[in-house]
Amino acid sequence: MAGLIINIASLSAFQAQFNSAVYAASKSFMLLFSEALWLELAPRGVHVLAVCPGRVVTSFFERIGSKPPPQAISAERVISETLQAFGKKQAVLVPGTLATRVQAFAHRVLPRTVVARIAASVSTKILTNDSQRKASSNVTSA
């Protein structure tokens, strides 16, 4: 093999994201760009993989004053699954739980507008829960 390229996209690459339109669009670009490179560079021995994780346990959640959601996976798991996908010469990897994979590919069986509304509903709930959690911590610390 002449080379390896890993591009990090996101679960957001598969659907519109309420309050994160530019982020989701840039991740969609990365996914499609990676798939095109996978085809174009394969004859030259270069393997390209787009990794599309959902939520990953990082310091991001602490910085925004939140806790990782239950479906968040470790960065180590993302790396492990990425290396396995390389061994299988996959073009796209959605690491994590079955629920995460179902979420990524829901657009194949549901209309995009339905998927967008579901994603908006989930995002709104997450933002509302984080806001409520922050408000209650401010009240208790006052």
Residue 99: exposure state from Cβ atoms within 10 A (0-12, 13-18, ≥19): exposed
How far apart are alpha carbons 16 and 3 in whole angstroms? 32
pTM of the model: 0.76
Q: Are 39 and 80 in contact (CB under 8 A)?
A: no
Q: Are 92 and 31 in contact (CB under 8 A)?
A: yes
Q: Which domains does the chain have, with CATH numbers?
A: 3-141 (3.40.50.720)
Question: What pLDDT does 110 receive?
Answer: 72
How far apart are alpha carbons 43 and 137 in whole angstroms? 56
Question: What pLDDT does 126 receive?
Answer: 55
Tens digits of pLDDT across the chain (142 residues): 689 999 999 998 988 777 888 999 999 999 999 999 999 999 999 999 999 999 899 998 888 888 888 889 999 999 999 999 999 999 999 999 888 888 777 777 777 677 677 767 766 665 555 555 555 555 555 5
